[in-house]
Structures are given as C-alpha cells and as structure tokens.
Structure 1
Amino acid sequence: MMKNKNGFTLVELMVTIVVAAILLAIGVPALTTVYEQVRVNNNIEKIHDLFAFARNQAVSYGATVNVCPFASATSCGTSTDWSGGIRVYITDATNTDHELRAIDSFNGQDKVKASAISMTFSADGLASGGNIIYCPNGKASNSQSVLISTSGLVSYGSNGNAC
C-alpha cells in the first residue's frame, strides 16, 4: 500500500517559480523609482538642513560662514558641481578655516548643481543667495531644489529643474 507524502510536485514548484519571476520583473522597476525618490527626498532634506545650520551658526558666532563643494579635506571646489559633498566652515581672525559640518559625497549617479561656486552667510544672517538642484541619475524630471535668498531664508524650491 502507498502512503500519501506531503510536498510539492516538480510541476507545482516550476509554476510557482515562473509566477514569482513575473512578479519580480514587474515590481523591480517600480521599486527602483521609489528608491530613487526616497534618496532624493533624504538628500535634499540634508542639504536644506545644512544651509539652515550654516545660517544659524553665522548668527550665533557673529561671523561669516561659508558653504562650498568638497574638493579635498582642506579646500573648496572651484566649480558649480557639488556632487562630491558639501562643506560648511568658518574662518577665524588668523585666517584659519574651521569646519563646522560636512556632507560626504552623494550617490555617484546623481548630480548636484549650484548656481554659485560657494555661498556665504554674514553675521546678520544675510546670504549671498543661490540655489542647489539635486538630480537623481541626472534626470531633471525627478529633481528637487533648495533656494537660499539674499535675506538668508533657506527654503525648498521647485521640482523638475534641469541639471
């Protein structure tokens, strides 16, 4: 007499694998878009918070605070490409820079462009003004921006700007 064994047949297993593969093929591109949007939101919030921090430090210290792209451990970049990271520093009376905060480089596929090589906040909170645009994978359609007005107001800008 044969005993009934519990388990799956090879056909049932193959059908399950095919269905899972189809679901993954449909779902992965959608998840990539979601991941990209979350990455943009997180990084644009970091940039916004960094500029708000820089303005607050300028007012607190009563000194000029500079924000610029990372070029090396001791200097700022010389282009409007801020993809390598952002550095906030203050210069003391002896002309020595003191780094207050920094953001390391962003995702290698993303572009971060600014309207200026560097931005400054004066002791009264006024800024040189400008904007920063974050483009995931270089796509303007999903880009977000941060605006820094000359009055020192740091705000979120419009979406969909070209890099």
Structure 2
Amino acid sequence: MVKDKFNQGFTLVELMVTLAVAAIILAIAAPSFSQMIRDHRLITTANDFMGTMQLARSEAIRRGIQVTMLPITNGDWSSGWNVFTDWDADESLGDVGAVCAENQDCFLSQQNALDNVTSVTAGNTGSGFRFMPTGEILSTLGFPNGNITFCSTGSNERIITVNQSGSSRISIGNVCP
C-alpha cells in the first residue's frame, strides 16, 4: 500500500498558525461585541420606558381617569418607575386593593432600578407624567415638550421626547461620556 503524502492530516505548525489567527480575530471582536451588548441594553431600556408611557396613556383613555407615571425614588428615574391610576390626583399611590375598584388607586406597572444604564436625566418633566382621560399630559409647568435621556458609557444617548398631547418619540443623541 502506497502512503499518500496529502492524506496524513494537519501538521502541528499548521494547527498552531490557525489557532493564532483565531485568537487574534477573537481579541479584536470581543470588545466590539461587549459594546454592542451595552448599546442594545440601552436601546431596550429606552424602548421599555416608552412602552410604559404608552401603557399609561392608553389606560388613562380606556379607564377615563388620570394615570400617573412617577420615578420610584423622588426625581430619580434610574431607580425605576411606577404607573398607577390616580383617582384623587395627588400623585401618590394610595391604598391599593387586590382588585382595581372604583374610586381607588390601582397599581398598573412597575420597573425596578436600572442596572444597564449609567445615567437617566429628565428635562421639563416636573415630578413625572400625568396622563389625562383624553391622553394628554397634564402640565402645571407650561412647557411644550418634556424629555428623558438614557445614557450608557460609550453608547449614543437615547432621548425620549414627550409632547403635550401625550405622544412620544425616541431619538439618538450624542455619545455618552
């Protein structure tokens, strides 16, 4: 039987060169992959916030009462947020029963503290958002637009702008520090 030189497999040198090239490619790709994960977490957080705002607005219209969206910790949106019906319009979640009864505050949604965002800043939002039965935002400050900016190191800001009618949009801002 004649040995065929080309059917003997890889040499050790060929295997080592292949592993070295693979290691270099992984070393270059890994940081980019980490940044991509941070970017998508920031996008997801901004989308969750906007979805919660849309829930609050639609519940206000559906139930015909004021629905309030406030940060869990006063003024700090990065601590998370609560959405609740606000029968007495006092911007606080009063006694909550197991069932959403007439004339009683009703807890609708909660987002816990954000661990994938470095900062959340609010502009022209007052203490939070109060959606009226018409879907509009009740504003005591007289501003045309409020905004919430989500930031994560190295990613582009995600800015949610809310106008007086209660509609909102997400835009991309500058690179976060």
For structure 2, the 5+ residue unaligned runs are: 96-104, 140-144
Alignment-derived partner of residue 62 in structure 1: 64
> How far did 1:54 drift?
0.6
Shift, 1:83, TM fit = 1.6
TM-score, normalised by the number of residues in structure 2: 0.72
Between the aligned residues of both structures, percent identity stands at 31
1:67 Cα deviation from its structure 2 partner = 0.7
Residue 130 of structure 1 pairs with residue 146 of structure 2: yes
Query: Could you say which residue in structure 2 is the equivalent of 1:38?
Result: 40
Q: Equivalent of 2:14, from 7, 12, 18? A: 12
SS in 2 for 1:130: strand
Query: What is the CA–CA distance in structure 2 between the aligned matches of 1:36 and 1:106, rounded to whole Å?
Result: 13
The residue correspondences of 1:145-156 to structure 2 (distance < 5 A) are 145-156=159-170
Structure with the larger strand share: 2
Q: Which amino acid aligns with 2:85?
A: I
Q: 1:18 to 1:65 in 2, by over 3 A?
A: same
State the one-letter code of the partner of 1:84. Answer: S
Asked if 2 retains the 8 angstrom alpha-carbon contact of 1:57 and 1:65, the reply is: yes
Alignment of 1:112-123 (within 5 A): 112-115=120-123, 116-123=126-133
Aligned amino acid, residue 89 of structure 1:
F
Give 3-state SS (helix, strand or coil) of 1:46's partner. Answer: helix
TM-score (norm: length of structure 1): 0.77
How far apart are the structure 2 equivalents of 1:2 and 1:117?
Answer: 86
Contact 2:42/2:117 (CA < 8 Å) preserved in 1?
no
Q: CA deviation at 1:17?
A: 1.8
| 1:109, distance to aligned residue in structure 2 (A) | 4.7
1:110 is the counterpart of 2:118: yes
C-alpha contact 2:82 2:110 (8 A) present in aligned 1: yes
- Compute the displacement of 1:133 (Å): 0.8
- Between 13-22 and 153-162, report the one with greater CA deviation: 153-162
